[in-house]
Structure 1
């Protein structure tokens, strides 16, 4: 009797613990407003794992510990949608949008009836359907042909912004979980995470993705869910299919319901009472497009009233009550005039298509990357081909495909050279990469200096490609450290270099002398060491000297650093040119915070900002990503909006509405100087 009662008590305790973890996942991943520290969250999660190990019969499918399946699948099954996932008709100009409005009014019975529209950003991702039975995720599938999709439940379970169990009335005032609820939405990879993913893949010599959408598609359709779990996938909900026991009068109401039961819904969704305002909002969103951390290719315009939607119905595979109002195209057709080879800082030879200039999204594109020899062969790009070129955000333009039907027979195949086109040294094939092995290759030197000065490394403003090329060609620098010994008189010898520009470069170089250890490691340009790996090394070694003296065993003992990366680091520090570079940097008084000997482990545990949430507003001199990294390194969090859970608002110049909200909520407002003191950064 007593044993049964104890078991019931344990079962209830585990259920409450799961509910608590689900709630904190929602606060962290969906709202970006955590209420507890990472350490507290880890404690809850470990407690649940331990209890489930002791009581395996109490493990449930909706447990936070069950997000990632252990076994790869042999193939995906199919899933038939109860209500078809319709595709939208696309329009691209104002006249077509006004025509849509007129058609809607005609079909629903008159020009006088009030029409309200809901406008949503059109996420450039992959449409998905999630099926919840009694509040628990049971099926996840792709759109497929609209009627039948691929069943990829195991993979969708790994995405942190997809709830395994939706909130009940106690949690969100949304009523008890429905017997059946179908949620439609878009899976995507944020642009910032896409760049990090590609940087890591590139550092390992692995194939990189062309754009965030391709990365999301390649990640979500992995037979091994553990691979999907390692990718930075995200999810926005945008609609409801079948909802047993629940009716919605408007699309707006459905979106509000989804938000309240735990889904992430785009903050850019708006309601408008006329088509003129819809067109105006399209222009507003288009201007914000490149500021967003996710790719959008237009807006979706929907009749808000569900009753009016039902009256309008659908034609074939598209609803009459919604359209996609697209932005100007970011891909175009053009011809390949030539194929040339560029040599990067690590010696990698990259084939580049020289194109007939073409306008894409308001930018003239005359070159596009072909990535590597394997990609060149796979796409079968030839000189003279007509190709599709894509440019998304600030991603380098890429040849997506060849229009083979336009071939005339005059096209010429391209073969990668067997010697470096710059220095003439032999090349070596390493997987998909062809690499120059010349130790004094000018192209590699230029690449290393450009990388050293780049935004995410030492952030030397004004030191662009043309300036670096002149500095190297005129033998004014022989490595990156020489930059710090340049004089204004020397810079003024460069073509198109005025006094003001020269002084700005010198000022920026002076400012970059004071940096972080992780930025310095990243700037050194060690092969296979991107931003993330540089941060790991900075966390585990007190200074450059400690890193230089690290053994292979020291390096591979760090989580996420494998044999290939460790060997690359050791090889880098064995080179005489590296020793010379580091000695010059020391003479140039390049400064970074060093940890005291023996305190590295202690520093890892010292999280002075543990549990604190920061919001930045206005312009500060520290790059925003660097400031965010500083806070996180010390255990804190950075949120995008001010709430009652915000501890500090860091206000720079031209601070906006966040300042007013912070003042209203009584949140402490600090300036950049106070922030620097908190993170012990010199002014």
Structure 2
């Protein structure tokens, strides 16, 4: 990696550190929460290393929530949160054998003696934490932010090879088993073949397919969808690669751990090697790295590198860890696969933030397991730096084995017909002149944020996303259909201001080009033509077949054309979203840098949009999880006149901009809240509350909203479908409240509850 000079000036260093932090957090959100990688591993690692260098030179800039000190990702509200008994750390990376040998020399110096290494394959899947208590599986959770993950226990039950009860006897009272969930290569190929045959979207890679399959909810799915979900989960596999919490394990090495957990019935990999101790250990590890670098295709699952760990567990404790990675392990990352293809064209797309992004349209080619037709070129300077001409034979790779990346042209194959790319002066979507938004910016953007159809499309899709309003029928295709349809000529939405005013009759039929929301790239078919879709199809219905709404139907001969289920679902879901928790509304407004974490912090502290708008920069920045950058972005958003128009239209449509019962700015965290010091679990369908709404209400009242019932739980609010949590509460003698009792608890506290009836 190229070295660059660190700024001498503190203010200049702080500015660059803030810019790096924002970009790193954006990339983490895309990768961990959307199962989408929008930058290569190398680009991401370069940003992290640059930020580390600045923080090393200016320690006062190294806050405890810096990306250099934290693990990427966070638990999503779609799943209950699970707190790991011991942190799940990430791994530091090396990219050459020289870097690995240097790391080896350092750890052996720190250890004060020669060491033995365990070398194993780095599986390209989804990290998982299995918690067993006295041999019984009690939870399975994703990594999340390393401290809190997502509860996927129900889905893990359907993954073959993971025991609910461990074999043998003498199991520890608590042990956390860490592993990776993945699709075997053959199963992934079968899955994509079935997707293609059904005309469905193909998965980009096994890692995204595994993550997307495991992080599904059964609720709301019909019988066919459940069968499909279960079929996918049954194709997943898991391999153990370590342990978390385990007091006084009866083994001394990592390799002993693998042998022991295998006797318990847990799946372990056969692809590992333990080196001999001494001066040749690093060389044996390098040999292992080289062998699998040449034989990656011989393994049953995708790998993107090799993990090298010190085998001796005592040294793990002795060497310790940073805030994000252990010092006793390292990941060697393999360079990605490369192929040649033809650059047919360079087009420009516009995404949600207005960035004009050149992208390559290529002769389809298979690389790293999937067919690639397009690749982003980021900006006009990148096009020049790569030296590619339209018509070139180009070298393509999958950066991190995920993102298509053009390395450069094969100059020797040029025949003179190639031509240079010229960046357009005007937005291809709305005709506004493109410009850099601030001095020094390389990216050109469309400044017409309000009316540019591409930006409106991106914001509408963002509003419906899982991290915002979570509107199931409002995704990539439907957002484009509402804002940029091929047919009809007039779109149902000109801006997101009218989102909650949509009616069923406004949205059928619509035909649309399928585009990527971030880059604006038009997706293509096998023949290179733009891919189109009709998300809100009209359904035929004979005149005599039941009731219909004449206002939302067309009559042709003896048949009516009625809206599709998808159209009806969209309107119903939008109506439900009007009462979504305040933090979701904040995310849906597309305020720069305000994702779910910052939105929860703002909503929890202030309780209403009016209170947030009235707060000073200092009051905003002081909220835990917000800070100066986000505070500035929030203030700037409210200063835009057409943003006020969005708020007005949404309010008129019935969108709720306040948390019911919130006591006011700062009060939720105050000791005087009616639930201060109490832990409450909300489960099942509580009348008048969504799951997120119930959790927010508990927090707003000063209490702790927990996801599981334990002896430390004070109350359980339970509605229909409460299941095992209700049974656990009854077993532990914890007071259970219905929806009415829950409302009393939230407003009056425990003292306001009626006394329990005493059995005669």
The TM-score with structure 1 as length reference comes to 0.52
Alignment deviations for residues 485-522 of structure 1 (CA, whole Å, 9 cap, x no partner): 22223323334424211111122112211212222122
What is the aligned partner in structure 2 of residue 137 from structure 1? none
Q: CA deviation at 1:546?
A: 3.1
Q: CA deviation at 1:523?
A: 1.0
Aligned equivalent of 1:318, options 258, 275, 287 = 287
Note closer, same or farther for the CA distance 1:360–1:464 as it changes in structure 2 (3 Å cut).
Answer: farther
What is the aligned partner in structure 2 of residue 408 from structure 1? 414
Matched-pair contact (CA < 8 Å) for 1:467–1:494? no
What is the aligned partner in structure 1 of residue 506 from structure 2? 490
Aligned equivalent of 1:327, options 291, 297, 302 = 302
What is the aligned partner in structure 1 of residue 39 from structure 2? 210
Deviates more, 1:381-390 or 1:549-558: 549-558
Aligned equivalent of 1:433, options 435, 443, 464 = 443
What is the aligned partner in structure 1 of residue 611 from structure 2? 546
Q: Which structure 2 residues correspond to residues 446-457 of structure 1 after superposition, within 5 A?
A: 446-457=457-468
Aligned equivalent of 2:580, options 511, 515, 528 = 515
Q: CA deviation at 1:456?
A: 1.4
Structure 1, unmatched stretches of 5+, are 1-71, 75-188, 201-207, 253-258, 271-276
Q: CA deviation at 1:543?
A: 2.1
Note closer, same or farther for the CA distance 1:361–1:399 as it changes in structure 2 (3 Å cut).
Answer: closer
Alignment deviations for residues 96-120 of structure 1 (CA, whole Å, 9 cap, x no partner): xxxxxxxxxxxxxxxxxxxxxxxxx
CA distance in 1, matches of 2:646, 2:354: 18
Note closer, same or farther for the CA distance 1:367–1:281 as it changes in structure 2 (3 Å cut).
Answer: closer
CA distance in 2, matches of 1:587, 1:211: 44
Deviates more, 1:667-676 or 1:398-407: 667-676
CA distance in 1, matches of 2:582, 2:715: 25
Alignment deviations for residues 104-143 of structure 1 (CA, whole Å, 9 cap, x no partner): xxxxxxxxxxxxxxxxxxxxxxxxxxxxxxxxxxxxxxxx
CA RMSD, 1 decimal: 6.2
What is the aligned partner in structure 2 of residue 154 from structure 1? none
What is the aligned partner in structure 1 of residue 431 from structure 2? 424
Matched-pair contact (CA < 8 Å) for 1:615–1:646? no
- SS of the equivalent of 1:436 reads coil
Matched-pair contact (CA < 8 Å) for 1:612–1:636? yes
Note closer, same or farther for the CA distance 1:278–1:343 as it changes in structure 2 (3 Å cut).
Answer: closer
Matched-pair contact (CA < 8 Å) for 1:342–1:351? yes
Matched-pair contact (CA < 8 Å) for 1:632–1:638? no
What is the aligned partner in structure 1 of residue 396 from structure 2? 388
Alignment deviations for residues 241-287 of structure 1 (CA, whole Å, 9 cap, x no partner): 867799999999xxxxxx9xxx99993459xxxxxx99999999977
CA distance in 2, matches of 1:601, 1:530: 20
CA distance in 1, matches of 2:43, 2:744: 40
Alignment deviations for residues 320-350 of structure 1 (CA, whole Å, 9 cap, x no partner): 9995735178865344322211122332212
- SS of the equivalent of 2:363 reads strand
- SS of the equivalent of 2:359 reads strand
Q: CA deviation at 1:419?
A: 1.6
Residues 1:235 and 2:90 aligned together:
yes
Matched-pair contact (CA < 8 Å) for 2:357–2:376? yes
Note closer, same or farther for the CA distance 1:673–1:319 as it changes in structure 2 (3 Å cut).
Answer: farther
Q: CA deviation at 1:289?
A: 5.7
What is the aligned partner in structure 1 of residue 664 from structure 2? 599
Q: CA deviation at 1:585?
A: 0.7
What is the aligned partner in structure 2 of residue 267 from structure 1? 177
CA distance in 1, matches of 2:280, 2:432: 71
Matched-pair contact (CA < 8 Å) for 2:680–2:713? yes
Deviates more, 1:242-251 or 1:348-357: 242-251
CA distance in 1, matches of 2:187, 2:415: 48
Q: CA deviation at 1:589?
A: 0.8
Note closer, same or farther for the CA distance 1:249–1:357 as it changes in structure 2 (3 Å cut).
Answer: closer
Alignment deviations for residues 277-316 of structure 1 (CA, whole Å, 9 cap, x no partner): 99999999977466689xx999964467878999999769
What is the aligned partner in structure 2 of residue 219 from structure 1? 48
Matched-pair contact (CA < 8 Å) for 1:236–1:266? no
Alignment deviations for residues 37-94 of structure 1 (CA, whole Å, 9 cap, x no partner): xxxxxxxxxxxxxxxxxxxxxxxxxxxxxxxxxxx999xxxxxxxxxxxxxxxxxxxx
Matched-pair contact (CA < 8 Å) for 2:492–2:507? no
Note closer, same or farther for the CA distance 1:638–1:319 as it changes in structure 2 (3 Å cut).
Answer: farther
Residues 1:465 and 2:375 aligned together:
no
The TM-score with structure 2 as length reference comes to 0.47
Q: CA deviation at 1:536?
A: 4.0
Residues 1:577 and 2:642 aligned together:
yes
Q: CA deviation at 1:429?
A: 0.9
Structure 2, unmatched stretches of 5+, are 1-5, 9-20, 72-88, 94-102, 121-130, 132-145, 148-174, 192-205, 216-237, 242-268, 305-335, 485-489, 512-533, 539-563, 748-760
Q: CA deviation at 1:578?
A: 1.9
Alignment deviations for residues 507-552 of structure 1 (CA, whole Å, 9 cap, x no partner): 2112211212222122111234333443343344342233334455
What is the aligned partner in structure 2 of residue 141 from structure 1? none
CA distance in 2, matches of 1:341, 1:378: 17
Matched-pair contact (CA < 8 Å) for 1:556–1:562? yes
Residues 1:480 and 2:496 aligned together:
yes
Alignment deviations for residues 163-207 of structure 1 (CA, whole Å, 9 cap, x no partner): xxxxxxxxxxxxxxxxxxxxxxxxxx9xx977446799xxxxxxx
Q: How many residues align?
A: 465
Q: CA deviation at 1:360?
A: 5.2
Note closer, same or farther for the CA distance 1:414–1:220 as it changes in structure 2 (3 Å cut).
Answer: same
